[in-house]
Structure 1
């Protein structure tokens, strides 16, 4: 079983760097999220969001305990006060009246994918009339997705169940987050299979936020400092390294043009400015001829300059963050 240095329950603390309230004297804030392999996971599975959020809260001086729980239990825990908030709230879900929410810290771009059907011109659900589309309950049970009538949803409690529907040809398509689909495609390629075909653009755009109950001392200040921290690391490559994402796009100098951002510690499959495949946009802006290139916080005006820095990296392509042992029987029958 692969390990990715993650903790499901992690207690983090540090000296107050940006004091927003005397939180050190309080009981650690307890945040919950539902399982999502490669992002929010139990035991020793990859848990990129667990790591990102725990470090962010540590850096702003907040003691926190991150807990992974099933949807029914996390929902009741948020109502009863067992949990002080969430650390991976999907904005497709309705906000709770008793919680305050951060700005989005990670886009959740939802694409449709298929084993055998071309998707080059699929940009909305009406292009897949009456198709059987497998997805997870965390997506299908949201208010906006319940209103989609063009397709027939095949709901699944877990990500593994969703991909099983496609494997056993009980669904024509799957519908999931781009980062999750990328890890499954990496798993397929590692096993010598063709990757899934993916729609050219997301059919739905959502995002992830953290939340805190309104009566938690200093809640608004904590969320404000969290937003500021995420904004900083999204502009210097630390964000990329934390989430194992090669390239992101964000306008860092307010000129209305997105800039390319990465870390030299990551192996790069795709090289800008030739391709935007697999690149995660962090705001609404598009790259252009005047885009900057940021590597480990250093800014370059020319791609060749950034490329020279990246070429010094001798790391190899990483394996999929999905556990091969879990999927090996499915892959054998793929």
Structure 2
């Protein structure tokens, strides 16, 4: 790994400048497997902004969405802001959920993003244009009354699931829209618990599918949590919302063993989410944090989905990305091979 800190820090600064004020107590949560230049840059920027910043550095967790050490879990509930930049995903961890329930917002940049990934690609997208695109994906691709979705791909995917009552339509950006600002997405999803967060890089329209409705063959072809860039597609056979078979090459073998070791019964529930990428600048990195935002891609989650509008709670949450899916909503083709067939920048 390159030990030198080179290139612009402009894009890394944006979410910090938008959300951090002088004297704010900020906890930076990271581990020894993550690119250290990222937390060093963040700590430097926080110091410049006058924040009272603390670094929590620990051994990497064994799996995505496992909690950090207990003292860090407790500290996350007592600060003004948490910044997650661990090598494993911690957004859906119990520790972060407890912190948000306590009213502590989070900026999530975890999952193995290197410093170079904060200098190009998804982070360069215009935030207001993307917020508008999110609104039109919600209304034009789906619509509040959407009921059934079917996804196919050139790799043999043929997967159906219900979204009835699960299309949460955000407000379009107003004239006073503030880019990079932490939002309470619980208001959009009509949830009682706090969901105070900003994901970065960002660029997805979240859809928590109705639990128990997934059926067919779901083929993940680009990347997946904990695995990274796939060498061969992973074929998941899903029956009534539960994975019954995992087939493919070495990556499928890894996933079977991974779920057996780190998962629980709910880790096999699928899809926990079925979301659409809306970031026109996102690139293929082999890192799920960016890849799932690629414009026209879709990603499907296993396990926990309580923080995206569902009801499942699990030890883990894993997203797998389809690069060029074809999506049918109530029988109407809305995405074909990763290309939107309806406008996502204006009303129909």
TM-score, normalising length: structure 1: 0.31
**1 or 2 for the larger relative contact order (CA 8 Å, sep ≥6)?**
1
Max Rg structure: 1
Q: Which has a greater percent of strand?
A: 2
TM-score, normalising length: structure 2: 0.30
